[in-house]
Structure 1
Amino acid sequence: MRLKSQYIFVIGVVGVLALYFLVRAVAGGGHAPNRAAAKPAAAASAIPSVQVKLTPDEVREYDVVLRGRTQATRTVQVKSETSGVVAATPILQGTVAAKGTVLCRLAVDARQAALDQARASFKSMQLQQQANAELSRKGFRSPTQLVQGQANLDAAQAGVRAAEIALKQVDIRAPFTGVFDHRDAEVGSYLSPGQSCGTMIELSPLLVVGDVPETEASKLHVGATAAATLVDGHTLAGRVRYVAHDADPATRTYHLEITSPNPQLVVRSGLSADVRIAAGSGPAHLVPVSALVLDSAGRQGVRYVNDAERVAFAPVKILEETPGGVWVSGLSGPIRLIVVGQSYVADGQKVRVAMAR
């Protein structure tokens, strides 16, 4: 028996609908659990992962670091006290001269004759006063005449002293032990009182001078130990002898002076130096340079994970750079420092934590 075409159509429609619901049931039953499981997975993937390193605090000496230069303790122009022609220059410039060494000698001229005359006058006055004293005992000289004779004797003695000083002044001597660094007068030059023979500099002890930022000045005090590494490789050790209390209005820095022994005078004045000055001690953390970040305000610091598993930021100050990292202050106690992923998380953000290898 052959089916009519309308029955065939109905059977086809029913078959298609049955197939549709079958496929939907199979597909829907398989995907519902996957969607349910995907929600926690998506939520988990939204929490970023970071790697941390447990960083303890240590007590460490604080140093103030600055650039400085060596400087002579004293620089003096040695000047003539009298006038005359330079007759000799016994010391070459650049030579070490002990205190009292003759740097320039003026011509004696009539100074020796003036001294001889003053001595002769003094001798005459001595004899005259002796005679006055003898006559006074015999009643032939009044007390007034005796006093006048003593005054004349004292004046003659002062004349001898003045002539001796004038003669001594022809020798222009080093006022302290140091280097006769520059000569201003040569043989044949005429010097008036106040004109320079040359320049003496004192290099032992030696000064190391620099300018301290206003943020560091309060940490320093007179007597603090200091070390300087010079551009030529020499190292100096000394102590702070002066810290200014008034800042330079242009640079807002405070002048500082360190005194250091230089017995062999091998270190010259004017050399650049890297200076480290002890400024006490306190807690510090050693962190990798890569862990340093900037916050939204532009402050330099580090990010770490707190007890609530959230990111926190702490501003720090660099104390010292070493091959193993930088020592910083500003942190308290052991912290879980973020060393991987610190640039991709924000303050207060929840994170998943893994220990760095």
Structure 2
Amino acid sequence: MRLKSSHLFALVIVGLVGLYFIVGALTGGGDHAPATAKAADDTATVQAKVSPEVSREYTVVIRGRTEAARSVVVRSETSGVVAQTPAVEGSVVRKGAVLCRLAVDARQATLDQARAALRSRELTRQATMELAKKGYRSQTQVLQDQANLDAAAAAVRQAEIALEQVNLRAPFDGVFDRREAEIGTYLSPGQACGTVIELDPILVVGDLPETEAGRFAIGAPATATLVSGEKVSGKVRYVARDADAQTRTYRVEVLASNPRLAARSGLSAEVRIGAGVGPAHLVPVSSLVLDAAGRQGVRFVKADGTVGFSPVSVMEETSEGVWVRGLRGAVKIITVGQSYVGEGQKVRVASAR
């Protein structure tokens, strides 16, 4: 009996389907792939570079500003009309230089009168001493004339001080920064002639975050780069113990040498303060990432081939990379693929180029 062509075609189809399943079972194909293949598909490939631990000076960088080391408003101790203003506003003045001079008025005459009275008392005392030696004056009279002489000497000193007070002088070497009185101005006791500021040395002040305030000690070295490009160096002279209520920062003051007075008061500055020596690692800038909590850090490969994360603090940026602290020992930093892996994930490591 001969098979029809349609029956023959159906038998061929059934045979091919059966052959497919037999071959799949023998070769392990289909959906039953080995578990090792699946695990290989889940293992990410990253590049990593070993960063050794080195000792490096810790430097904290903050924004700051320059201030005069001292600023004094020179005020009159007596009353009078300003007769002269020898110091030019904005000029450098030495300690004792006259900034404003009041009219002498009757002060010189008062001094001359006091000196004349002193000479008279000296002559009287001398005559009394001679007479006392001869028995014509008592010891009480001698003591009285001595007291009168002392009073006359005190009156001379008082008149000399009153005359000197017409000269309003600079209290220290500095800059006569601002004039408050001109010729003809009447000054009462306590009124200002002008302001003197000291710029050598100069202060560079800034605000330390509370996480860094405890790292510094008085005398720590510091360097400030001013907005003008000028650089000044000095040492920390003061770190506040009480934080600012609004910013929760601590004021720090650096006393720096400024012999040419190139640094003015009020300039913005970048301040670098040394905070001792400690362990540090050099890592590429691109290796810095944020974890789920928003902390800045680096991802690295542990000894078991899994990914770890460590928060770090940036110490300094250089052309070779970023110096950070927070790591310990030699660390295999992930340099490529760090943004696509998570903590605890198994990875394959390829050497960084």
- Length-normalised TM-score, structure 2: 0.94
Deviation at 1:8, TM superposition (A): 3.0
The one of 31, 34, 37 equivalent to 2:24 is 31
CA distance in 2, matches of 1:211, 1:299: 22
Show the counterpart of 1:198: 194
The answer to whether residue 160 in structure 2 is matched with residue 164 in structure 1 is: yes
Show the counterpart of 1:144: 140
In structure 2, do the counterparts of structure 1 residues 124 and 12 end up closer, same or farther at CA, with 3 Å as the change threshold?
closer
The answer to whether residue 78 in structure 2 is matched with residue 82 in structure 1 is: yes
Show the counterpart of 2:172: 176
CA distance in 1, matches of 2:217, 2:260: 28
The one of 102, 108, 111 equivalent to 1:106 is 102
In structure 2, do the counterparts of structure 1 residues 122 and 307 end up closer, same or farther at CA, with 3 Å as the change threshold?
same
Identity of aligned residues (%): 59
Q: Which moved more, 1:142-151 or 1:152-161?
A: 142-151
The one of 273, 298, 316 equivalent to 1:277 is 273
CA distance in 2, matches of 1:12, 1:131: 166
The one of 321, 338, 353 equivalent to 1:325 is 321
CA distance in 1, matches of 2:263, 2:4: 113
CA distance in 1, matches of 2:211, 2:38: 49
Show the counterpart of 2:183: 187
- Map 1:161-310 to 2 at 5 A: 161-310=157-306
CA distance in 1, matches of 2:5, 2:224: 103
Deviation at 1:28, TM superposition (A): 3.3
The answer to whether residue 127 in structure 2 is matched with residue 131 in structure 1 is: yes
CA distance in 2, matches of 1:11, 1:165: 140
Contact 2:230/2:262 (8 A) holds in 1:
no
CA distance in 1, matches of 2:236, 2:288: 33
In structure 2, do the counterparts of structure 1 residues 42 and 197 end up closer, same or farther at CA, with 3 Å as the change threshold?
same
Secondary structure class of the residue paired with 1:70 = strand
User: Residues 2-54 of structure 1: CA distance to partner in whole angstroms, max 9, x if unpaired?
Assistant: xxxxx3359985x5676356424543344341518943433311222212112
CA distance in 1, matches of 2:65, 2:351: 46
CA distance in 2, matches of 1:345, 1:159: 91
Secondary structure class of the residue paired with 1:82 = coil
CA distance in 1, matches of 2:349, 2:128: 113
Secondary structure class of the residue paired with 2:153 = helix
Contact 2:299/2:307 (8 A) holds in 1:
yes
Q: Which moved more, 1:271-280 or 1:127-136?
A: 127-136
CA distance in 2, matches of 1:200, 1:287: 49
Q: Which moved more, 1:320-329 or 1:66-75?
A: 320-329
CA distance in 1, matches of 2:71, 2:190: 16
Q: Which moved more, 1:211-220 or 1:322-331?
A: 322-331
Show the counterpart of 2:2: 8
Show the counterpart of 2:149: 153
User: Residues 254-297 of structure 1: CA distance to partner in whole angstroms, max 9, x if unpaired?
Assistant: 11111111112121111110000000111111112221122222
Deviation at 1:305, TM superposition (A): 1.0
Matched to 1:23, the amino acid is L
CA distance in 1, matches of 2:327, 2:45: 23
- Length-normalised TM-score, structure 1: 0.93
Q: Which moved more, 1:241-250 or 1:271-280?
A: 241-250
Show the counterpart of 1:19: 12
The one of 317, 325, 339 equivalent to 1:343 is 339
Q: Which moved more, 1:195-204 or 1:281-290?
A: 281-290
CA distance in 2, matches of 1:254, 1:55: 34
User: Residues 298-327 of structure 1: CA distance to partner in whole angstroms, max 9, x if unpaired?
Assistant: 211111111111111111111112222211
Matched to 1:27, the amino acid is Y
In structure 2, do the counterparts of structure 1 residues 51 and 183 end up closer, same or farther at CA, with 3 Å as the change threshold?
same
CA distance in 2, matches of 1:304, 1:163: 82
Deviation at 1:332, TM superposition (A): 1.2
CA distance in 1, matches of 2:94, 2:110: 30
CA distance in 2, matches of 1:305, 1:298: 20
CA distance in 1, matches of 2:68, 2:9: 107
How many residues matched? 350
Larger radius of gyration: 1
CA distance in 2, matches of 1:103, 1:259: 27
Which runs of no fewer than 5 residues in structure 1 stay unpaired?
A: 1-6
Secondary structure class of the residue paired with 2:29 = helix
